[in-house]
Amino acid sequence: MTDDSQRRPIIIDTDPGQDDAVAILLALASPELEVLGITAVAGNVPLPLTEKNARKVCELAGRPDMPVYAGASRPLMRPLVTAEYVHGKTGLDGPELPEPTMPLQDKHAVDFIVETLLEREAGTVTLCPLGPLTNIALALIRAPEIATRIREIVLMGGGFFEGGNTTPAAEFNIYVDPHAAQTVLDAGIPLTMIPLDCTHKALTTAKRLAAIRAIGTPVAEAVAALLGFFERFDETKYGTDGGPLHDPCVIAYLLKPELFSGRHVNVVVETGSELTMGMTVVDWWRVTDRSVNATVIRDVNAEGFFDLVTERLATL
Ligand code: BDR
Ligand code: CA
């Protein structure tokens, strides 16, 4: 499937991050998808690093032509919280990746998102947020008319039955910018949320990492080094074999939705209480009459997911 008219156009909004890096590689390795651009946001590390890391990953994939845009350097209302304790000082600790030589685009990420959605046929472009939702919320605030033009938002964020990974109640992406997350959930856009309840079932076990390493290409070696670094923190924290491979679930969901299952429910983000700030309150049992605003994914076929990731990485 190489004909552009057959490919699903997406924008990846991201804060790389080792798992973001694998998500970008998976998308660039997938002929079903047309990556229109990559927009960086502050999150795992500050913006100057996330935009640079996005360019490093494009170059690793042999795609220096991919436009990368820098977006918001801090959340809408709250000070930026970063996660070097998980991702390392650079955000992409693990392998030695060269400094990128491809340029950062002059245009602001929010302008790129708005202009692309206005230019492209309505209902065709899918947004894939892998970090705090600041850029997406700003785009919706700047040009509310884009809401009806978005085909779907498929995002990694939140947690309900599984609790939080940043506070007892909140997952990192939503915790960092809860107001942006609520803005996006309120916009009436078809939205799929892939929370910790799902991603904590997609573990980079030793066997799965060995299968990636065995591909033997420079990309596979870099991915094995990225994930080898990334999993250490969570292995210690959760006592598991491997860490959760969060963000690639978003891309895998676009490629093979049959690997995932969830429910159409209402989700509200806590933005008032400091104790539970950023909690995604999911009405899983439909105990309120709040209207459905998301499909929340709870399960993944982890073997099928890692087979897909491994098979696609082998093509880069
Ligand atoms: C999310 O936070 C980041 O650390 C990861 O890249 C992922 O997007 C998981 O909570
Ligand atoms: Ca991320």
pLDDT tens per residue, range 19-29: 999 999 999 99
The alpha carbon of 21 and the centre of ligand 2 are apart by a number of angstroms equal to 9
Return the pLDDT at 187.
98
Confidence of residue 3 (pLDDT cuts 50, 70, 90): low
* CA 214 – ligand 1 centroid, Å: 26
Task: Report the CATH number at residue 231.
Answer: 3.90.245.10
Is residue 61 within 8 A of residue 102, CB to CB? The reply is no
Closest ligand 1 atom to Cα of 196: 10
For ligand 1, say whether the CB of 22 is within 6 Å of any of its atoms. no
pLDDT over threshold 80, residue 4: no
For 246-294, the pLDDT digits (tens) are 999 999 999 999 999 999 999 999 999 999 999 999 999 999 999 999 9
Which residue segment(s) compose the domain that 174 sits in?
Answer: 4-313
* Residue tagged active-site, from 87, 179, 200, 246: 246
HEC-encoded secondary structure of the chain: CCCHHHCEEEEEEECCCHHHHHHHHHHHCCCCEEEEEEEECCCCCCHHHHHHHHHHHHHHCCCCCCCEEECCCCCCCCCCCCCHHHHCCCCCCCCCCCCCCCCCCCCEHHHHHHHHHHHCCCCCEEEEECCCCHHHHHHHHHCHHHHHHEEEEEEECCCCCCCCCCCCCCCHHHHHCHHHHHHHHCCCCCEEEECHHHHCCCECCHHHHHHHHCCCCHHHHHHHHHHHHHHHHHHHHHCCCCCECCCHHHHHHHHCHHHEEEEEECEEECCCCCCCCCCEEECCCCCCCCCCCEEEEEEECHHHHHHHHHHHHCCC
Ligand 1 close to Cβ of residue 83 (< 6 A): yes
Q: How many domains does the chain have?
A: 1
Alpha-carbon distance of 8 to 310, in angstroms, equals 21
pLDDT for 106-123, tens place per residue? 999 999 999 999 999 999
Share of the chain above pLDDT 70, in %: 99
Q: Rounded mean pLDDT of 237-244?
A: 91
Which residue owns the Cα nearest ligand 1 atom 10? 172
- Which residue's alpha carbon is nearest to atom 4 within ligand 1? 44
Which pLDDT score is estimated for 56?
A: 98
130 in ligand 1 pocket by Cβ < 6 Å? yes
Residue 1 has pLDDT above 60, yes or no: no
Query: Of all atoms in ligand 1, which is nearest to the CA of residue 246?
Result: 7
Is 111 close to ligand 1, i.e. is its CB under 6 Å away?
Answer: no
Kindly state if the Cβ of 234 falls inside 6 Å of ligand 1. Answer: no
- What's the maximum distance between 2 C-alpha atoms anywhere in the chain? 53
User: For a substitution probing ligand 1, which of 130, 177, 238, 280 has the most ligand atoms within 8 Å of its CB?
Assistant: 130
Q: Which residue(s) pair with 269 in the sheet?
A: 280
pLDDT of 126 higher than 90: yes
Structure tokens of 264?
């159409």
Percentage of the chain exceeding pLDDT 90: 93
Q: pLDDT tens digit string along 284-296?
A: 999 999 999 999 9
Q: pLDDT band at residue 2, thresholds of 50, 70 and 90?
A: low
CA of 15 to the centre of ligand 2 (A): 5
Closest CA to 313 of 222, 186, 238: 222
End-to-end CA, the chain: 16
Ligand 1 centre to CA of 310 (Å) is 20
| Cβ–ligand 1 contact at 23 (below 6 Å) | no
Contacts of 244 (CB under 8 A, 6+ apart): 19, 196, 199, 200, 201, 202, 203, 204, 234
Rounded to the nearest integer, the mean pLDDT of the chain is 97
- Per-residue pLDDT tens digits for 175-215: 999 999 999 999 999 999 999 999 999 999 999 999 999 99
pLDDT-based confidence at 231, cuts 50/70/90?
Answer: confident
What is the arithmetic mean of pLDDT over 56-62? 98
- For position 291, what pLDDT does the model report? 97
246 is known as an active-site residue: yes
Q: Whose CA is nearest to atom 2 of ligand 1?
A: 172
Task: Using the mean position of ligand 1's atoms as its centre, give its distance from the Cα of residue 277 in Å.
Answer: 17
